[in-house]
Amino acid sequence: MTAFDKAHILHPYASSVPSADMHLVKSAKGVYLELEDGSMLIDGMSSWWSVIHGYNVLELNKAAMEQVSKMSHVMFGGLTHEPAIKLAETLLEITHANLEHIFFSDSGSVSVEVALKMAYQYHSSQGNKQKSKILAFKKGYHGDTFGAMSVCDPITGMHTAFEEVLHKNIFAEEPMCMFEDVWDEGYIEDFKNTLEKNHTQIAAVILEPIVQGAGGMRIYSPMFLKRVRELTDAFDVLLILDEIATGFGRTGKLFAYEHAGVCPDILCIGKALTGGYMSLAATLASKKVMQGIETDGNILMHGPTFMANPLACAVANASLNLLLASPWKENIQKIELQLNKELKVCEKLAIVKEVRVLGAIGVVELHKDIDLLFMTPEFVQRGVWVRPFLNLVYIMPPYIISPKELKQLTTTIYEVIAAYEISL
Ligand SMILES: *Cc1c(COP(=O)(O)O)cnc(C)c1O
């Protein structure tokens, strides 16, 4: 089977002639992935931030099966259904009170496309068609579709491959003030100058709150976000916050923007929304944004086939019930304490540049880029699944991970980085 995969099936950011072997996952339960040969791996990645309750969760299985027996899907044009209404109620309840409208879509990238359309349409409906650019940040990541790519980091993002066809946006320097650093206005200088100089052409600023994820796993000061909000308000520019990775407790708050006490005009969520069961995302917007778009009878121009898929919404409802009924805050605090204690020892290794922890996110940054061909087998042999990128070994385990399982993850990370250092 894996031979067929290798010959024909494309994987994320990978060659059609792959050099590494694929691991076939047979089933998964709790924090464990079971491979073809029966070996068990602790999943340190939560399948890219999404599987917050672990795999094969009774309550989520039940919700999916009950919904399948009613209807798996129905179009959302002219029709509606209970799973979507319930989910919208909960999401509008747990996010900032200013967010009053919600648009469901099928993936994080699409929710970003919708957010960008909202921002453009908001200003063009006011007769400000020249506000056609987005101010984004270096080291940012917002997805793989064309609009989303156009606001990703211009170097580590995919701009070089698509330079000629991407919408030309404007970029500010990434936040350099790390989470605990003492605030200095100098940190916001570049953003402020860029905004001041270009605001007449800027529809919105887009930013991942507190943690820049796939662009470098950088954890920055809440004051930075607070100042971004104040400045966007001052210049009549909308603020889009991309919580696709950070939402639903990952950083220790239900949403990372809460660290800064701000409210976005537009909010993107996805990844953990269904507990990692299926693809679902949403774009939330304030009344001001929707009323602005609809000036002169305009409407938001988007409508995916699988919009608000009932099966995905039903599982999302079950996942949110499970999360909100659990002591998620305490669980994440415990994970944070343990990550801080156990990952910091990596800083003793010469190859390690820095260890960073926030909530249930642990990052070990190396001085050198990682060789996956070396590291992946080392991790798998030791019974864990960790997938580093660039010079970053990072984990964001399911919230249900036990202290013993987490200890195995952190110990293994130390061992594998130490082995990598020796191999060089
Ligand atoms: C993963 C991610 C996206 C894209 O979501 P997809 O579901 O992969 O399309 C966008 N923004 C951020 C911050 C993400 O982490």
Q: Decide if 181 is catalytic.
A: no
Query: Taking CA 231 as the corner, what is the angle to CA 108 and CA 125, rounded to the nearest 5 degrees?
Result: 65
pLDDT score of 19: 86
Nearest to 216 by CA among 41, 378, 404, 361: 361
Nearest to 229 by CA among 206, 256, 212, 203: 206
Identified catalytic residue from 43, 153, 242, 265 = 242
Task: Determine the residue of 244, 246, 248, 257 to mutate for testing ligand 1's pocket, defined as the one with the most ligand atoms within 8 A of the Cβ atom.
Answer: 244
Kindly list the averaged pLDDT for each block of 10 residues, start to end, along the chain of length 424: 93 91 95 97 98 98 98 98 98 98 98 98 97 98 96 84 93 97 98 98 98 96 98 98 98 98 98 98 98 96 98 99 98 98 98 98 98 97 97 98 98 98 96
Domain 62-325 has CATH 3.30.2310.20: no
Identified catalytic residue from 106, 271, 414, 420 = 271
pTM here?
A: 0.98
Ligand 1 nearest-atom number relative to CA 140: 13
Note whether 2-56+327-423 and 62-325 share their fold: no
Give how far Cα 365 sits from Cα of 75, 153, 412, Å. Answer: 45, 18, 15
- Beta bridge partners, 283, equal 103, 268
pLDDT score of 394: 98
Ligand 1 nearest-atom number relative to CA 112: 10
Q: Which CATH architecture has domain 2-56+327-423?
A: Alpha-Beta Complex (3.90)
Q: Quote the CA–CA distance of 350 and 362 in Å, as a whole number.
A: 19
Amino acid at 49: W
Going by CA atoms, what residue is nearest to atom 5 of ligand 1? 108
In angstroms, the first-to-last Cα distance of the chain is: 34
Task: Determine the residue of 146, 269, 271 to mutate for testing ligand 1's pocket, defined as the one with the most ligand atoms within 8 A of the Cβ atom.
Answer: 271
Identified catalytic residue from 141, 187, 220, 399 = 141
Pocket of ligand 1 (CB under 6 A): 107-109, 112, 141-143, 208, 213-214, 242, 244-245, 270-271
DSSP code per residue over 11-26: -TT--SS-SSPPPPEE
pLDDT score of 246: 98
Q: Decide if 13 is catalytic.
A: yes
Q: How do strand 238-242 and strand 266-269 relate by DSSP bridges? A: parallel
Quick: pLDDT tens for 84-112. 999 999 999 999 999 999 999 999 999 99
Domain boundaries in the chain? 2-56+327-423, 62-325
pLDDT score of 90: 98
DSSP code per residue over 152-179: S-TTTSSHHHHGGGS---EEEPPP-SBT
Ligand 1 nearest-atom number relative to CA 107: 7
pLDDT score of 87: 99
Q: Quote the CA–CA distance of 219 and 205 in Å, as a whole number.
A: 19
pLDDT score of 156: 75
Give the 3-state DSSP-derived string for 34-64, with helices as H, strands as E and coil as C: EECCCCEEEECCHHHHCCCCCECCHHHHHHH
Given a contact cutoff of 8 angstroms between Cβ atoms, the answer to whether 327 and 145 are in contact is: no
